[in-house]
Amino acid sequence: MSARLEEGAESLRREPVAVYELLESIVVEGRELGRESRHELVFEGDPNLVLLGDEPLLRSAFSNLVFNAIRHTPTRTRIEITWVRDREQGVLEVRDNGAGIPARHLPRLTERFYRVDPGRARDAGGTGLGLAIVRQILDLHEASLSIHSEEGRGSRFACRFPAQRLRDFSDATAV
């Protein structure tokens, strides 16, 4: 996976990825991971909204966001995942009502090995590489990552994909 990332844009696949189904399968894994801690995962999305991209890389990015929302939040946190078209863009959001991230950490959050609370994140099994990889994968897809978080209220990670990477499968002639 990291070798593929090093190769960058050249080896990037550009195939129709059924993001709805991809997220469904990540949510199934996430529910397993968060079963004991009673995390609640809710997913809503547009099943016809397809993204041209690299499925293995996208899986790795999306699952890091979903698993982060489980690993780095308290028990019984509710996690909402959405995949919709917003104006021209494809928007994937992972929102949680966990403890949130203090604002001073947000600018550095996607740096390699950066963790908010190294002691705790290690207990949670993290190396701090996940969000750096997410950002790299999104860059390769011309997508952006925005992070909003409020202490005591939770966090929201939004990935925005440009219109030229989207296809609508309800229109059979679209691809």
Ligand X SMILES: Nc1ncnc2c1ncn2[C@@H]1O[C@H](COP(=O)(O)OP(=O)(O)OP(=O)(O)O)[C@@H](O)[C@H]1O
- Alpha carbon distance 170, 136 (integer Å): 30
Residue 73 binds what, of ligand X, Mg ion, none (CB under 5 to 8 Å, by partner type)? ligand X
What CA–CA distances, in Å, run from 83 to 4, 69, 87, 166? Answer: 25, 16, 13, 12
By CB under 6 A, residue 137 contacts ligand X: no
Residue 147 binds what, of ligand X, Mg ion, none (CB under 5 to 8 Å, by partner type)? none
Give the contacts of 154 (CB within 8 A, at least 6 positions apart).
Answer: 73, 77, 95, 96, 97, 98, 99, 100
Member of 60, 63, 64, 97 binding ligand X (CB under 6 A): 64
How do 15-17 and 144-150 pair as beta strands?
A: unpaired
By CB under 6 A, residue 63 contacts ligand X: no
- Show contacts with Mg ion in window 120-149 (CB under 5 A): 130
By CB under 6 A, residue 106 contacts ligand X: no
Member of 60, 63, 68, 155 binding Mg ion (CB under 5 A): 68
